[in-house]
Structure formats: structure tokens, C-alpha cells
Amino acid sequence: MSSEQKKNTFFGGVAILMVSTIIIKIIGAIYKIPLGIILPDEAYADFSAAYNVYSFFLTISTAGLPVALSKTVSEANALGRYNQVQKVFKVAFFAFLTMGLISFICMSVFAQPVATYALQNEKAVWCVMALSPAVLCTCCCSAFRGFAQGHMNMMPTAISQVMENLSKLLIGMGLALFIGSLALQPEDFGDRMMAVGAIAGVSVGSILSVGYLFWNHRRTRRRHPGPFTDKTDGSRKILVGLLALAIPITLSSSTTAIVTLIDTNLVNGQLQNVFQSMMDAGPVVTDAARGFLDIGNKAAAILQENMATSSTAVLDSARALYGTYQKCMSIYNLPFNLMVPLTASIIPAVSAARARRNMLEAKQVSESALRFAALMALPCGVGLFVLGEPIMWLLTAGNTDYTIAGPLLSILGLASIFVCIQLVGTSILQANGIVNLPIATVIIGGVVKIIVNYILVGNPNIMIYGAPVGTLCCFVIAAVLNLLIIKVRVPSAPSYGKVFFKPVLASVVMGGVAWASYGFLSRALGGDTLTFKGNLIAVGGAIALAVVVYFVLILALRAITREDLALMPKGEKIANLLHIK
């Protein structure tokens, strides 16, 4: 394959999706940061719990089929079977529509039992119902996106995702602010309705997105009307082939979604158990620190406040801590989301190379993808680890107790590194036809997470801090197991020393610079009397300096190769500009 072809097939697509992802995350920041400020922790817990169940149904419906569709379309295109491409899409679209309808019914008709029993939070029922149209429309969107990605055309996916998120911002935030202006009573009801308004924007965005993708698909079809001469396989054979790939991938992805859903139930349930025990004994705030980072006294203070204002003090106290945790999760997901464009491009690119029997190209794409993941995930995770508390103070504007949220984000920062490595490792295995073993790695990690969370979250001296520890344990295990399987099962597996050593070294130095520079700036700007504005300047300065140091170290250490850049648009020019040989 020529250099130009490589650009069009792999990192060209990655670049398009990466730009759209950055735009989406900027929109998401504009959406979620103010949302985290205007919504109390309890209402944010309802918002997040509903989103978790939505993610579960969405994963069940769309995790495997888009990958199977893009892989099958990519292989058929590589062999010149254009009639087959069209028939594969028709069969896949019917499957997507069926799954979307089933998920829609579960989230709308059965919203009450889902909120009460699956989420352990009956106050999230309206948020669950507000998201039900989104799961149906997003299933249809996934069919169009998978088809386009199979042609290595990432632009429809990018545009539709930006549309979706703009709608979420403008309509969702607009509804939340409008409902807030009505000052509905009682206050807790008004807060919950604000969460419903915010989450309704997701459904509206998905409707607009599916409309655009349908129009784009029709326009693309008119440009290539045929006729084509290849003979197609039967619908049954196509469906069986799609499901043979989709089911293992869905099981792997849905295992994570199932674990997250169980985790939501478990964390809320265990927190309620601890708060119930506190209330039975009488919550007392002492002068001496109690528990990890004084969580005992902080939890007692939350319970005392809710007992004075609410008839459901135990539930509301658990919602408060869980809402704090979920605000951290929205930041933790940033590195993970940056990996999604990479994984979306790995499978069709490697599959097409394998269909052409070009194993050297398949190895190069896989190794470059893993190195790129390390270069992105490590600095993000280390940065969140060393600056967890000041970042949460900055992003919640004092609406959340950042002394609780900061350590949560620091632990999640480390976990985010392993989430990214696990995700890319899974895609490499799936692209090489190894679809069952990643399921086992996620199951093993998920079981460990559930056990750790059950033990730690139920401990009154640890409570909510057990949740990110469980997440860290889960993805360390899953990522390491994936890398071991790649080494054993994938031909010409990458050298992990070459992939990870230089990014790890650069990230550790960068983390030290960020920690030291924030400490210096925060002391210079006020120390113990540091204001919100001073924290903003200190965080901004520390991050800016850390980015410069990391970029210089990456170039000095030659952590990225010329072969990596050759897969990117204008990669040769970039390599020459940076003097990378």
C-alpha cells in the first residue's frame, strides 16, 4: 500500500474523528461544567444514573454491530464486491432498528422498575424516560456510521456527533435553565426536573443526527448508482456473519456496561447502608479525623444537613456522594473518549490489510495505534492524578466539595490510562480475529471491581473512595491481560518496551513539573487563602507549562516515529518539520 493510500485509510480517518472529538469535548465541557454547577450533587446523581442505564442499552444494541458492519463492508470493498456492500447494510439496518425498538420499550414502558431496582434510585425515573427516544435514534445512527466507516469515510460520523452534542448543549442546557427559572416546589422536585430538561437535549440531538445521516446516505447512494456485477450472499448468511463477529464484541463491551450498571446499583446501595447505620447510631462530627481523608466526618455532616431538610435523608445523602463521584467521572472519561476515534479506525484498517494478505501493514497500523494511545493517555492520566483537587475546584466552582472530589479524580486519572490501553488492545485483538478472549479479560476485571467496591464502599472509613479504586483494579487487570494475549496470539506483536518506555518517562517528568509548578503558583497567589481566581491561574499555568515540557520531551526522546507520522495526513511534511528521521 502506498503512503497516500495509508493516509486515506487510517490516520486520515483518525484525524477527522479526533478533531470532531475535540470539538465534542469542548462542547461537552461547556455543557457539563455549568451543569455540574447549577445541578446539586443529588440531581446530578439522577442525571448520571439515567445515563448509565442508557449507556447499557445502547451498548447492548450498538457495540458490536457497527464494528461488524464496518469490518464486513471494508472487506467487501477491498475485494470489489459492491452489491454485497449494499446488501450488508440493508441487513444490518434491520438488525439495528429491531434492537433500538426493544431498548426504547425497556426505557420508556419499564422506566419505574429500572430506576427503582436497577439503579437503586427511584428519583431518576423521569430522566430514564427522557432518554428513551435517544437509544432508538442512536441505534439507527450506528448503522449509517458503521457503513461510512467501512468505506473509511469518517466525516458523516464526525458531523453527526457534533450536531448531536450541539443540540445537547443548546437545547438541554436551555431547558435546564428555563425549568430552573420556574422555581418549582418542592426544591428537590425542581432540581430533578432540571436534570430531566438537561438530559432531554440528548434525545433531541439524536433525532437531528439520524435525520442528517439518512440524508447523507441517500446522497452518497445517488453518486454511485451502479449497476454492479458481483453476486451477493443470502440475507441469512450475511446476518449470521455479522452476528458471529458482533456478538463477541457486544459481549465484551456490554460486560463493561453491565459492570457499570451493577456498580451504580452497588455503590448507591452500599452508601445507603452506611448512611443508614450512621443515622441509626446518630451522626456525629468529631474534631479528630475519621476514615480515609476524613470521609467519616464529611459523610456525617452531609447526613446531618439532609436530616434537617429531607424525609429521605439516607437516599439523598447517598445521592450526594454518588453525584460527586459522577462529576469526577465526566472528567475521567476525557482520555477514554479521545481513544474512540483511534479504535473506530483500527478494525477496518487492519481488516482490510489482512484481507489483502498484507501482514506488514497490519502490524504497522497496530503498533502505531498502541503507541499513539500511550502518547495520549499517559499525560492525561498523570495530569489528572497530580492536579485532581485543583481541577475539581475549578470545574465545579465550589458547588461540590472538592476535598472529596479531588482524591476521587486523582485515582480515576490513573485508571483512565489503563482504560485507554485496554480499549485499544481490545480493538487490536478484534481486528486480528481474536474476539472471545477480550470478553474474558473484561469479565475478570469486572468481577474484581464488583468485589473491591462491595468491600470498600461498604466500609464507613472508605465509602465513596472505594469506587475509583475498584475501577482502577478492573482496568489494570483487563489492560495487562489484553497486552499479554496480543504478545502471544498476534503475529509480529509490537515491542512494548519501544511503545511504552518513552511515553512513560516523558509523562512522569511532565507530572512532576505540573505538581511543582502548581504548588509554586498557588503559594505565590495566596497559599492557604488562595481564591478561585488564583486557583484558575495556577491550574492554567501548571497545565500550560506541563504541555510544553511534554511536547519537548516527546521530540527529544524520539517517542514518535517517522513511520507513525507517515500514516497521518501531511505526515511526511510534519516529520520533516520536526526533524524526525
Supply the DSSP string of 320-368, one letter for each residue: HHHHHHHHHHHHHHHHHHHHHHHHHHHHHHHHHHHHTT-HHHHHHHHHH
Higher pLDDT, 135 or 578: 135
Q: What is the dihedral of CA 31, 32, 33, 38, to 10 degrees?
A: 90
397 secondary structure, DSSP code = T
- In the predicted structure, residue 129 carries a pLDDT above the cut 60: yes
Structure confidence at residue 543 as a pLDDT band (50, 70, 90): very high
Higher pLDDT, 353 or 282: 282
Of residues 324, 358, 260, the one with CA closest to residue 59? 260
Structure confidence at residue 2 as a pLDDT band (50, 70, 90): very low
- In the predicted structure, residue 495 carries a pLDDT above the cut 90: no
Please report the pLDDT score of residue 156 as a whole number. Answer: 85
DSSP code string of 460-511: TTTGGGHHHHHHHHHHHHHHHHHHHHHHHHSTT---HHHHHHHHHHHHHHHH
Please report the pLDDT score of residue 566 as a whole number. Answer: 61
Share of the chain above pLDDT 90, in %: 35
CB count within 10 Å of CB 330 equals: 19
CA–CA gap between residue 579 and residue 116 (Å, rounded): 59
Greatest mean pLDDT range, 222-231, 255-264, 379-388, 495-504: 379-388
**Average pLDDT of the chain, as a whole number:** 85
For 430, the 3-state DSSP assignment is: helix
CA–CA gap between residue 183 and residue 191 (Å, rounded): 9
CA–CA gap between residue 212 and residue 214 (Å, rounded): 5
Please report the pLDDT score of residue 581 as a whole number. Answer: 66
- In the predicted structure, residue 101 carries a pLDDT above the cut 90: yes
294 secondary structure, DSSP code = G
pTM, full prediction: 0.74
Phi, psi (deg, nearest 5) at residue 569:
-60, 135
In the numeric block, the cell 503498533 is attached to: 367
Query: In the numeric block, which cell numbers belong to residue 126?
Result: 423521569
Share of the chain above pLDDT 70, in %: 89
| CA distances for 565 relative to 10, 15, 278, 374, angstroms | 11, 12, 57, 15
Please report the pLDDT score of residue 408 as a whole number. Answer: 96
Kindly state the average pLDDT of the residues 548-569.
79
Please report the pLDDT score of residue 571 as a whole number. Answer: 58
For 287, the 3-state DSSP assignment is: coil
In the numeric block, the cell 475485494 is attached to: 79
Please report the pLDDT score of residue 225 as a whole number. Answer: 65
